[in-house]
Structure 1
Amino acid sequence: MDDVIIVGGSFAGLSAALQLGRARRRVTVLDTGLPRNRYAAHAHGLLGHDGKPPTQILAEGRAQLGRYPSVRLLDVAATALAGTRDAFTVTTAAGENLAARRLILSYGITDVFPDIEGFAQCWGRSVLHCPYCHGFEVADGRLGLLYSSPLSLHAMALLHDWSARLTLFTNGQDLPEAEHAKLARRGVAIVTGRVAGIDHRDGHLSSIRIEQGDPVPLDALFAHPRQRLAADLHGALGLDLTEGPLGELIAVGDDFQTSLPGVYAAGDLAHPMQSAHLALSRGSMAGVHCHQSLIV
């Protein structure tokens, strides 16, 4: 029996495994090899790794975990979870049944792309989600923001530090008149028509097509699509969920424990603020709290 099985081996999962491995606990990490940020060519703002491909950072992390004999990495999906504290079982896609005293869920989220032609092809290249992660590379360019909720207006305010050439695409949604005035004072152009598609070449956009109107030339578009949990494994355990700004998340306490004792969660699936930096931090803390719960 393992001390801990970690379901999801991206930034949060590997960070948790590192803490537990250093504590010499038996750990198995299950991973599908499909991290959320696989669409991005480079990760930015991550101290010591700025400009590296995310897949390279993860590969280096996996290699470093090879130092710890009590940690094993399995490239296989988990298909079912069951049990209670000190007696959990995990079934894998290979048909293997694993047992552990604790579980850490870190299988992340999936971005649900809107039905806009070209959006998926540009995601992570020129359709971006975070100015802190990608804004420097497109600074002073013609930047747009696809409106999805009132929170989008906060993102528009942030973008002013990266460019003065900003366009808000409401995609047919209504904005409060007061917001129109605020945006106008900031020099933000507003395009009210529905977005019909994105013109691009190999994922690098050149303009946004509007259903009724001329295409709008653009260098990068920021967007915040809806999200869903990347797997439904939490359902069988009956874990409590909470509503985030873009979709449901697994509810956790200050110790990263879920509503079921012995099950912890970290990374994008458990917090509305999402980035590799935060996933590393929260994964590490989830590993520490999980380890401390094993000490009797």
Structure 2
Amino acid sequence: GLAEHWGKSVLHCPYCHGYEVAGGPLGVLATGPMAVHQAQLIADWGDVTLFANGLFEPDAEQMLALERRNVRFEPAGVAELEKDGSDGLIVSLEDGRKAGVRALFTAPRNTMASPLAEQLGCTFTEGFLGPVITVDDRQQTTVKGVYAAGDAARSMHNIAFAVSGGAFAGVCAHQSLVFD
């Protein structure tokens, strides 16, 4: 059910979507241990349940961090997501229990949409959500004359960052053509 609810009640970023869903029960669907970090942040927008989905068990320090932010930890696997009749979701757990959430946040692993950077010989760095193209402070990749920006070149995906990075990469590419 992730794909059918993506962008509506399954979301990736509290900074992009948190305000829209604030005040209701929220969930974080774990894709790995980074979900602890995500759940702590999302707690500023509502009551959060971290659905570990059977992927990991937080250590004592992580559990304490979740408790400090009043995040409920749910270790059971998630069996199904279904619309709740309004704008939220029903999270059905493998043991038969159900939980209602206004929105479910998750951090899927990203991949490049195109093989172009790899074909050009660009180097990649492992970001916290998957590979990103390695760039310097002027957005140039490890291949001279090749620039990258936006989601392809940074782990934190945000439209404003992508637009800004793209504009800056364009300026730097132009200056390189003129002065290099």
Per the normalisation by structure 2, the TM-score is 0.92
Q: Give distance in 1, aligned partners of 2:51 and 2:32.
A: 12
Aligned residue in 1 for 2:52 = 170
**1:203 to 1:256, Cα distance in 2 relative to 1, 3 A:** farther
Maintained 8 Å contact 2:126/2:132: yes
Aligned residue in 1 for 2:83 = 200
The structure where helix makes up a greater share of residues is 2
**Structure 2, unpaired ranges of 5+:** none
Matched residue of 2:32: which SS? Answer: coil
**1:262 to 1:186, Cα distance in 2 relative to 1, 3 A:** closer
Note the alpha carbon deviations across 1:63-85, whole angstroms, 9 max, x for none: xxxxxxxxxxxxxxxxxxxxxxx
Q: Give distance in 2, aligned partners of 1:257 and 1:186.
A: 40
Maintained 8 Å contact 2:35/2:50: no
Aligned residue in 1 for 2:99 = 216
Maintained 8 Å contact 2:9/2:89: no
Instruction: Determine which of 111, 134, 149 is the counterpart of 1:228.
Output: 111
Q: Give distance in 1, aligned partners of 2:148 and 2:8.
A: 29
Note the alpha carbon deviations across 1:136-186, whole angstroms, 9 max, x for none: 1111101011122332222222222211x2111011022112322332343
Per the normalisation by structure 1, the TM-score is 0.57
Taking only aligned residues, the RMSD between alpha carbons, in angstroms, comes to 1.7
Residue 193 of structure 1 deviates from its aligned partner by 0.7
Maintained 8 Å contact 1:146/1:171: yes
**1:245 to 1:203, Cα distance in 2 relative to 1, 3 A:** farther
Maintained 8 Å contact 1:250/1:269: yes
Q: Give distance in 1, aligned partners of 2:69 and 2:84.
A: 31
Instruction: Determine which of 31, 46, 50 is the counterpart of 1:148.
Output: 31
The structure where strand makes up a greater share of residues is 1
Note the alpha carbon deviations across 1:79-111, whole angstroms, 9 max, x for none: xxxxxxxxxxxxxxxxxxxxxxxxxxxxxxxxx
Residue 232 of structure 1 deviates from its aligned partner by 0.5
In the alignment, structure 1 residue 136 sits paired with structure 2 residue 48 = no
Letter in 2 for 1:232: P
Q: Give distance in 2, aligned partners of 1:121 and 1:281.
A: 30
In the alignment, structure 1 residue 261 sits paired with structure 2 residue 173 = no
Q: Give distance in 2, aligned partners of 1:203 and 1:282.
A: 37
Note the alpha carbon deviations across 1:170-229, whole angstroms, 9 max, x for none: 110221123223323432221111111101169944210111131111111010011100
Maintained 8 Å contact 1:123/1:203: no
Q: Give distance in 1, aligned partners of 2:33 and 2:49.
A: 16
Matched residue of 2:38: which SS? Answer: helix
Q: Give distance in 1, aligned partners of 2:117 and 2:69.
A: 44
After TM superposition, list the pairs within 5 Å mapping 1:63-82 onto structure 2. none
Note the alpha carbon deviations across 1:124-147, whole angstroms, 9 max, x for none: 101111111111111110101112
Q: Give distance in 2, aligned partners of 1:251 and 1:185.
A: 36
Count of equivalent residues: 178
**1:202 to 1:227, Cα distance in 2 relative to 1, 3 A:** farther
Q: Give distance in 1, aligned partners of 2:99 and 2:28.
A: 12
Q: Give distance in 2, aligned partners of 1:262 and 1:203.
A: 50
Letter in 2 for 1:248: P
**1:174 to 1:288, Cα distance in 2 relative to 1, 3 A:** same
Aligned residue in 2 for 1:188 = 71
In the alignment, structure 1 residue 159 sits paired with structure 2 residue 159 = no
* Largest Rg, 1 or 2: 1
In the alignment, structure 1 residue 126 sits paired with structure 2 residue 5 = no
